[in-house]
Amino acid sequence: MPHLLLVRHGKSEWNKLGLWTGRVDVDLAEEGRAEARAAAAVLQEFFIHEAHVSALKRAQQTLSEIQTTLGLADLPIKTNAALNERHYGIHTGKNKWQVKEEVGEELFTKIRRGWDHPIPEGETLKDVHQRVVLYYNDFIVPSLQEEKNVLIVAHGNSLRALMKHIENISDEAIADVELQTAEACCYLLSNDGTFVSKEMRFGGEKKG
């Protein structure tokens, strides 16, 4: 049975500042590059047949560090904006914790983690889910059906959206799902993409 390996990008320059990044194309921080190399260490037992990555450079830089660490210079890679981070609209570039102070914890949680809470000029997680799942069904499921192990390097929300789809997580429960920077979610799936089991790994360690 194939493995699907999801890795959130390493810590970016804006992650360090607590800023909502969304579609802004920022670089990894040096700490994020180190995190990406640590993520590679927990993936070394898998033979990775292909990788998919967002169009944003913090994800691409993370994948590059993984490739270098694992010696995967010839790894087939597909890049697509469908895997990009959620567009945070009017909140883009704002400090998350200042917004929390301004709007209160309940509304902040809806903005940050809610399923379909609208953001002016931005996307809901439901919107992200629609584009990510379409890409997954069109370009990744066929590889899983061929028993290929597939790596996806993307973002907190695009990966949460995919996890919701794979695990059939409820609209309410998805608010409690979070990936740390450079955390890996390692799925074992049936050939048609059906969920079998999951293991979370971070910083070179298995989390159960």
Q: Tally the domains of the chain.
A: 1
- Res. 208: pLDDT tops 50: no
Q: What is the pLDDT of residue 53?
A: 98
With 0-12 / 13-18 / 19 or more C-beta atoms within 10 angstroms meaning exposed / middle / buried, residue 53 is: buried
Is 129 an annotated catalytic residue? no
pTM for the structure as a whole = 0.95
Looking up residue 110, the CATH number of its domain turns out to be 3.40.50.1240
pLDDT class of 55 with cuts at 50, 70, 90: very high
pLDDT class of 189 with cuts at 50, 70, 90: very high
Q: What is the pLDDT of residue 203?
A: 73
User: H-type helices in 104-203, by residue range?
Assistant: 105-113, 125-135, 141-145, 156-167
Q: What is the pLDDT of residue 29?
A: 97
Give the rounded percent of residues in the chain with a pLDDT score beyond 90. Answer: 95
Q: What is the 3-state secondary structure (H, E, C) of 62-82?
A: HHHHHHHHHCCCCCCEEECHH
SS3 content of the chain, % helix, strand, coil (to 5): 45, 20, 35
- Residue span of the structural domain in which 111 resides: 3-206
Check 9, 52, 91, 129 and give the catalytic one.
Answer: 9
Check 35, 85, 123, 183 and give the catalytic one.
Answer: 85
Distance in Å from the first CA to the final CA of the chain = 20
Is 165 an annotated catalytic residue? no
User: Across all residues in the chain, what is the average pLDDT?
Assistant: 95
The mean per-residue pLDDT over the stretch 167-186 comes to 96
- Res. 205: pLDDT tops 60: no
CA–CA dist 129, 55 (Å, integer) = 17
Q: What is the 3-state secondary structure (H, E, C) of 105-125?
A: HHHHHHHHHCCCCCCCCCCCH
- Tokens encoding 158: 């695009």
